[in-house]
Structure 1
């Protein structure tokens, strides 16, 4: 048995209506083991949402009791959507067959026809709305009435038409011709170029179409520029036909005169400009070595007395009174004229 409260109970009531409807509230209450008051509360909510409806009871051959006949309830088409359906699969299969049998052009023609049928007679209302922005707002209302939950919002120099729901998104994912035909139809209805920015079929949150609008400030500047008077350029004085040729001929400078030179003048100048080499006095072959040898300073004379002779002399004579013998044979403190014999 299903739970007796919340959305689960309402779904259980809807399932009983689908499987056994049309049925009375008493039958539903007995099936779900609920009170009739609780069942009627959920039935009223389903009717308010358009998922259920009341039908007059069928006539019966058996005699009824006293009082008003009991109401019978059953689901509507919107209520059956709660339990799923195969409409998308059926439409996809049909388009596949159409593409195989008649080609892609047939699919394009079907997509254009679908958009025309979708808008119906409201096409005239959209076209007569005025500028593209007003047309986009009317188009959004028409699409919302068809279940697309559309709205417009300003963005930059344009308006974005946003469709937050797409009933054919599953089919359009395989056949983008549906989205392309819709975009072309929007451009024709709005009277301007549009650009599809996003689609639910491609996984986006909404189908967004950008409708460019003219910037009012730029339009005002353009109108102001048209009112301003543009000055006329001053006409140039006419010139004769041969004026250009005469100017070129008169402006050419005559060639500069050059003094004539004899044929051999250049070679003669080069030969005479070469300086004569300076004469150098000849020197004998050994002159340089002889100069070096003669220029060396004479060596200092060295005392010819050897050191051994001086030492022997000191040992033989011994130190004299009043002085010592130097290496020159003189006593220190004595006179060089003293007699040593």
Structure 2
């Protein structure tokens, strides 16, 4: 069966919003911090090495077997595994950045990326450079849901068991407190960039989108003309706890509350990846001055 590559465009608008009414303001930069401090307390770095893990549809990754059924030389297989691991840790990340970090040519890295795309282990996100509103968006790569399942089975399974056990022992209040602590930790890391943007709501939204991008969420912001009031949409094209949030939606609720506190205005969630949305999309009114709320 011929593989059809799925691409996600960031930023995006809900289906009921005309594309002509928006202009992108920020998007994810290529340079990213260590995975140990990104996302919700470094959740992207919890998954182990891909060596020897089973891939989707019965394929084996890390053992030298390509999607075509042919056997790759050991060095090729090792490079493929390293590419996959770095997409896990750094995504969204470009082929050029991967090549620079791995010490390989962009052509060699793209060959492995094409193979991983064919195996549905990664997917493409099209993002614009910060501050640009025109031109061709850059192709950057993140793990797909199948890739997350392949590399993250240990983390996701253990995390689900732990969350369910916490719920059994401590009840909903304990789960909410745990999630709140994780989201508050993320909020404290985002706050300096947002506060440095000043009191203008639009500037704070742009700063928050860029800070989320640095944290590995493929963050961006979009200005939307909505009648007499100008509003913005804060977009996230990637979520490191997407599967957990699907079972425990409090992750999304707490994050929305954290955004409101950082921006100083009431915000409304339009869609989430965890609920099956194309992106996480947060509606932010920009018609009034920010009321700063210190992170807990």
TM-score when normalising by structure 2: 0.48
TM-score when normalising by structure 1: 0.42
Greater relative contact order: 1 or 2 (C-alpha under 8 angstroms, separation 6 or more)?
A: 2
Who wins on radius of gyration, i.e. which is larger?
A: 1
Q: Per residue, is there more strand in 1 or in 2?
A: 2
